[in-house]
Amino acid sequence: MEFERAEAYILDRLRTGLADSLYYHGLHHTLDVAQAASALAEEEGISENEDLILLKTASLYHDCGFLYAYQGHEAESCRIAAEVLPDFGYKSEQIAEIVGMITATKLPQSPQTHLEQIICDADLDYLGREDYWPVAETLFQELKKRGLIEDPAAWIATQIRFLETHQYWTASARKKRDALKQQHLDRLSKSVGR
């Protein structure tokens, strides 16, 4: 696998091809997920080099479908990965693992393997971080721009429902992120008198 070439290829495509109105799902989100996935993998004891490369590749490709579609972008991400990764020396079974990880990030998340759990947790890492509020605001603006959310009240209700039902899959993410995620939920609930 020529990971560096696969990485350079997709980062260039994302840098030049993503819509400016992807305030949340821009290149910065992909880089954030890749960094969070690498950190979680280390905390979860993933030491097999091939597993790390597959996880990093899936992280970089997981939202590249936004180049072509907003709704159903995961399927597009899988299509792009399956189409281009053979050019970088990835074997079909490795691509199948990457496609599984990308697919697992679709909401509601349903990871089947440890690597899928890690990428799912990395994708929503911000829910339990200090930067939750500004990051969530970028998602609100992105959805509002597309007519997918009406107003701040509807957004707060959506966030409360999402945080109430969301769970981190790995022990490391739960340990590191659950407490602050709960504080964010409490603050949102308080803001609507709950």
Architecture of domain 3-191: Orthogonal Bundle (1.10)
pLDDT digits over 71-82, tens only? 999 999 999 999
* SS3 category, 145: helix
What pLDDT score was predicted for residue 167? 97
**Residue-wise DSSP of 44-89:** TT---HHHHHHHHHHHHHTTGGGGT-STTHHHHHHHHHHHHGGGGT
pLDDT digits over 112-128, tens only? 999 999 999 999 999 99
* Stretch 2-17: mean pLDDT: 98
Is the model's pTM score more than 0.85? yes
pLDDT digits over 134-149, tens only? 999 999 999 999 999 9
State the average pLDDT for the chain: 96
Q: Where are the domains of the chain?
A: 3-191
pLDDT value at 34 more than 80: yes
CA distance 171 to 1: 30
